[in-house]
Structure 1
Amino acid sequence: MARLSVPNTARLPSSVRVDASTSAVAKSLNRLTRESLISLALDWLDESAFPNSTPFLRARMSEEEDDEEDDDEDSEDIYPPARTIEDLRQLYEDMRQQKGSKRDVVSRILEGDWRHGLTLYQLAMADFAYLDEHPTSQKWNAYQILPLQKPSHTEDEQLLKVDKESLQAPRFHPSTFLQNLQDQVLPDVKAHYHFHRLQEFPLLLLRIFVIDSPYNSALALSSLDQSGTVTNFDASRTIYLAFPDGSPSLYTTKSQGTGSAGMGESKSLQNLIIDGVPKALSRPMERYTVKSTSITTRNLIALLDMKGPGRGNAAGGGWSIYADEKNKHSPLDAILPTPPGSREQSASTSGRKRGAPLTQSQRDRKRARATAQSRFGESASISDGKGIERFEVVLQDPFPVTSRNLPALEENQEEVSEDGESQSRTNRQRSKVESVLQQAVQDIDDVDDVNEVDTSPSHWTPMLKVTFSGPHVFAGIRQLVEAGIVDGKRMPGWMTGEETVTKGAVHRGRIRGQKGSGI
């Protein structure tokens, strides 16, 4: 540790060590498999990573002293330190070929070769190793990076609007981006940044590890309480940013506390970083902003398909036939693809040899499958690996009240109004849902039409929220259509996933994403 530490605005270096006895350090290693731990140790012993992951080695001494030291260490030390990096690397290579338990590898790392602690660089590599093994361990929120209009010279201050006609994308330079992010977003805390590229996904990940400390040395992690635990490290937070290749999009995770970080504090940190990303990407006369796309999922493949560099950004549901990389159809083509069940398809199959006549149930199943193919196209397949786990919709359409159930509706409203307890409970539920609705209709182009309220009793709008959950929501809806449980012809388009949102509000049959980000 440095004798003198002065508060500054610099970020935490990767060589700062965390004590090996810290519970969070052991936790980050114990969730990895034995093979991943050995591969991680070998990566730490690589020449490129050696300055930030130096192991505990035996000090150089004479041969006689070395022999005496060997006898003493064999009797006292469970894991005698190695003489050179090559010997230590060979030791882990032998462990890879042998059988053993994960506990032995973790104990060897924490009590033997890195007994003096793990650096922030090593902890970041351990977290990314776990993310490589479990790509669905994080819940990602997708944002869109949009260019802003250039400020006018006639007015000094004005609110810049999104330039919808511009195709300009920000240029990303890691070193400049980190410097701007530290200066503009996190000047009063210390953060450690680490970039990583996953093995199977075309995106660049950034891990941000934040500690409430004015120092950027080992003093930032040396604050101890009465029990001897590292309080600064236990109160740290971690957030991940993902920048997909060739796409003006941004994926973020929620801020995760290592120990006692509060929910409100973690949420404020996330908002600070999201607000600071466009500032870090902006340049003079080249400003950007981020906008939520109302997409939340744990599946990075689905996220890259909906908001990535491919052609499926706005081609969900039945529009997926135009996002096929093999056929490459376009809605502007003179010859459109033949939809299932059309006359052209029937004429092409008329020359085939007919089999036995189908029963009514078989015809219904065949018609339902053709309808599902028309509504979903090539999307929503149970084996495509693009499953969305949760889809939430708030319905704003008025209930179709007829003359038959209108008297019953008025009588029910009078009974509820007479009961004070029922009325208060209904008002509490309605206030919660109205807050969701108010947030959902924000920034909508036709907001005046949405806010129109008809007080007549024939237009009653119930407060309904529909939630679909499962390993692959839209594939499950497609199976319901194929089974004839859901009418595919009358089913709204937002149930096919063509709006590419996972939460929103439905008004007049059309879905609007949260904060107006839907199509």
Structure 2
Amino acid sequence: MPRISVPTTARLPSSLRVNPTNPAATKILGRLSRSSLLSVALDWLDDNSLSLAQPYLREDEDDDDEDDDETDDFYPPARSPEALRDVYTLLQARKGSKREILDRITEGDWRHGLSLYQLAMADLQYLYDHPTSQQWSAYRIMPLKPPRDPDGEEPPQVDKQSLTIPRFHPSTFLRTLQAQVLPDVKAHYTFDAHKTLPLLLLRIFIVDSPYNTNLGLQQKTGTPTTTTNFDASRTVYIAFPDASPHLFISKPQTTTLTSSSSSGSSGESKSLRNLLVEGIPKALSRPLQRQRFTLQSTSLVTRNLAALVERRGGGRTNAAGGGWSVYTAAAAAADGDDDDGSKKRETPLDLVLPASASASPPLFLGGGEESGGGNGKRAAVAGLVLAGERREERAVKRARLVARARFGVTAVAGDGKGVERVDVVVEDAFPDAGGEENAGGDEEGGRGGRVGRGGGRKSQVDAVLQRAAGDEDEHEDDTQQQQQDGVAQKWRPYVRLTFHGPHVFAGIRQLVEAGIVDGERMPGWMTGEEGVTIGAVRHGRIRGHKGSGL
């Protein structure tokens, strides 16, 4: 630690060490399982990471001093990193408790402190072990038009016809982000390529301190209690998918075990996310080349990172959700993506519903050939029962065909691409015959009837729709459509639908296959083809920042 610590705008170095007994370090390591702890320890001892994760090793001393250390120390230090690597390899081969590994790390091999780089690796390992531990929001990178009057106050406009994509350079991006977004707080950045998904993860660990030395991580003694700068720390992840104009931002999470207040923590998290949403496009922009960008929400929020890559990644499935996914499957089959040549992929022609499925007459096994009256009646009853069973079988088969046609190859239980929550507001006019009874509904209950509605779990759908109302083009289109339809003065009740579950669209598909939901009359947004989790249904179509934003 230097003798003088001066406040600076530089970011925290990766070699900065934290006391192993710090609550933040204890929480990060304590969340991992025994196998993950051993894997992370071996990664620390790798030659590429050893410079930032140097363990506590035995110094060259006399034999007598070495014997005294071995008898007094419960975890005697190793002679070299290679010897310590062999120790953790043997621990990985046998069974034991997690507490044994955790105590050896904090009280033995890294008793002198854990670097921020080591804590970042442990935190990323927890993200890999628990893919649904973070709540992600998808944003689209949109280019801005060059200002006509540089000295004027005209707000920049989005260039929807431009195909410009920003060039991403990690070191330049971090330097600009630290200078423009977080100059008054200290942050530690760590890049890591995702192990299974085509993503580049950026972990941002933010500490509320003006110092980038050990002074910013030490505990400070106050009058009532002993506090630390980690009490106000936050961890945020930013995921950059390969070959995609989108990025994903996680919800900021606290590092300490307890927070001061839930409301204050929520407000700080929202403020931090807003700062990142405003600062990331500035870090990606290149003013000298007259290239400026902004972030627009795509109304897709989920804990499943694989679902985000499926709907906002660089593949073919961005604009081919629901039943349209069969076209991407056919294209992949044409490109030779199948590992097994004998495996047949579905094509759009395979999902055409047979016209005879519903037009075929019910099978009736009459008893015209029976001579006896009693036997003929029993045969007729048996024929009716058998005909009913055949009709049920045909109905079940048709429901499955309808589900295949509406959902395609998506919304399959167990595919690992499900979303857990979908919020939809229906803003269509209430259908009525005369149109005069509900003409004054807007004056009493408002446009959406939001006044006086009951309480319940808070949702982001209202805030998202308010932001979407600021889009002038969309608002003008809605007004013109309402005037053309003649429903501008009709009553519009506030109807909000919320779907919960581990895989919402897979559950809707199962309801269609069971015949509970009519798959033929079901709207398209219920199949997930729009790729949004928050939106408003207007004129029968979902509009969440113009649907998928494509």
Q: TM-score, normalised by structure 2?
A: 0.81
Tell me, in whole angstroms, the C-alpha distance in 1 between the residues paired with 2:168 and 2:488.
56
Is the 1:7–1:214 contact (alpha carbons within 8 Å) kept by the matching residues of 2?
yes
Change (3 A) 1:406 1:484: farther
Q: Is the Cα contact below 8 Å between 2:425 and 2:496 reproduced in 1? A: yes
**Superposed CA offset, 1:440-466 (max 9, x none):** 433163414546699999933221110
The Cα of 1:10 is off from its aligned counterpart by: 0.7
2:53 aligned partner: 53
* Pair 74,321 (structure 1): closer, same or farther in 2 beyond 3 Å: same
| Residue 353 of structure 1: aligned partner | none
Alpha-carbon distance between aligned partners in 2 of 1:369 and 1:232, rounded to the nearest angstrom = 57
Match of 2:125 among 114, 122, 129: 129
Matches of 1:297 and 1:200 in 2, distance apart?
18
Equivalences for residues 439-454 of structure 1 within 5 A: 439-443=467-471, 445-448=473-476, 450=478
Alignment of 1:228-247 (within 5 A): 229-247=226-244
1:33 equivalent to 2:33? Answer: yes
1:233 CA drift (Å): 1.5
Contact kept, 8 Å, 1:441 with 1:450, in 2: the verdict is no
- CA RMSD, 1 decimal: 3.4
Residue 312 in 1 paired to residue 317 in 2? yes
Contact 1:245-1:309 at 8 Å conserved across structures: yes
Structure 2 residue ranges without an equivalent (≥5): 336-346, 358-385
The residue type equivalent to 2:412 in the other structure is S
CA–CA distance in structure 2, aligned partners of residues 277 and 171 of structure 1:
13
> Aligned residues: percent identity?
54
1:273 equivalent among 270, 273, 276: 276
d(CA) in 2 for partners of 1:434 and 1:78?
59
C-alpha contact (below 8 Å) 2:327/2:348 kept by paired residues:
no
Q: In terms of mean alpha carbon deviation, does 446-455 or 506-515 score higher? A: 446-455
Alignment partner for residue 464 of structure 1, among 477, 482, 495? 495
Distance 2:48 2:474 in 1: 56
Q: Cα offset for 1:67?
A: 2.3
Measure, in 2, the Cα distance between the counterparts of 1:435 and 1:277: 22
Q: 1:373 aligns with which of 391, 404, 409?
A: 404
Alignment of 1:258 onto 2:255? yes
Give the drift of 1:154.
7.8
Contact 2:532 2:547 in 1 (8 A): no
Match runs of 1:151-230 below 5 Å: 151-152=147-148, 158-226=154-222, 229-230=226-227
How many equivalent residue pairs?
A: 492
Report the equivalent of 1:326: 332
The Cα of 1:385 is off from its aligned counterpart by 2.0
Deviation at 1:31, TM superposition (A): 1.3
Give the deviation of 1:189 after TM superposition: 0.8
Cα deviation, residue 24, structure 1: 2.0
| Partner Cα distance (1:69, 1:186) in 2 | 48
Report the equivalent of 1:340: 351
Cα distance in 2 for partners of 1:424, 1:85 equals: 67
State yes or no: 1:489 paired with 2:520. yes
Contact residue 440 and residue 504 of structure 1 kept, 8 A: no
Contact 1:74–1:80 (8 Å) recurs in 2:
yes
Q: Is contact 2:55–2:110 with CA below 8 Å preserved after alignment?
A: yes
Preserved contact between residue 444 and residue 516 of structure 1 (Cα < 8 Å): no
Distance 1:83 1:413, change over 3 A: closer
TM-score, with length taken from structure 1: 0.86
Q: Cα 1:455–1:151, aligned 2, differ >3 Å: closer, same or farther?
A: closer
- Superposed CA offset, 1:172-194 (max 9, x none): 11111100101111111110000
Question: Cα offset for 1:147?
Answer: 1.7
Deviations 1:234-262 (A, max 9, x none): 22111000001111110010111123372
Does the C-alpha gap of structure 1 residues 60 and 515 become closer, same or farther in structure 2, counting only changes over 3 Å? farther
Structure 2 CA distance for partners of 1:153 and 1:255, relative to 1, 3 Å: same
SS in 1 for 2:142: strand
Q: Give the whole-Å Cα distance in 1 for the aligned partners of 2:156 and 2:417.
A: 36
Match of 2:332, SS?
A: coil
TM-superposed CA distance for 1:166, in Å, is 2.0
Counterpart amino acid of residue 488 in structure 1? G
Residues 198 and 345 (structure 1), Cα distance of their counterparts in 2 relative to 1, 3 Å cut: farther
Which runs of no fewer than 5 residues in structure 1 stay unpaired?
Answer: 330-335, 347-355, 418-422
Q: Distance in 2 between matches of 1:157 and 1:124?
A: 42
- State the distance in 1 between where 2:333 and 2:487 align: 52
- The SS at the match of 2:158 is coil
Shift of 1:426: 4.5
Q: What one-letter code is carried by the residue in structure 1 that aligns with 2:168? A: F
CA contact (8 A) 2:464 2:534 kept: no
Q: CA deviation at 1:473?
A: 0.8
- Could you say what secondary structure the match of 2:392 adopts? helix
Indicate the larger mover: 465-474 or 383-392: 383-392
Give the equivalent residue in structure 2 for 1:350: none
Contact 1:505 1:514 in 2 (8 A): no
The Cα of 1:435 is off from its aligned counterpart by 6.1
* 1:95 maps to amino acid: L
2:115 corresponds to 1:119? yes
1:287-325: per-residue Cα shift (whole Å, max 9, x none)? 111111111111122111100010011111111122224
Provide closer, same or farther for how the CA distance between residues 154 and 136 of structure 1 changes in structure 2, counting only shifts above 3 A.
closer
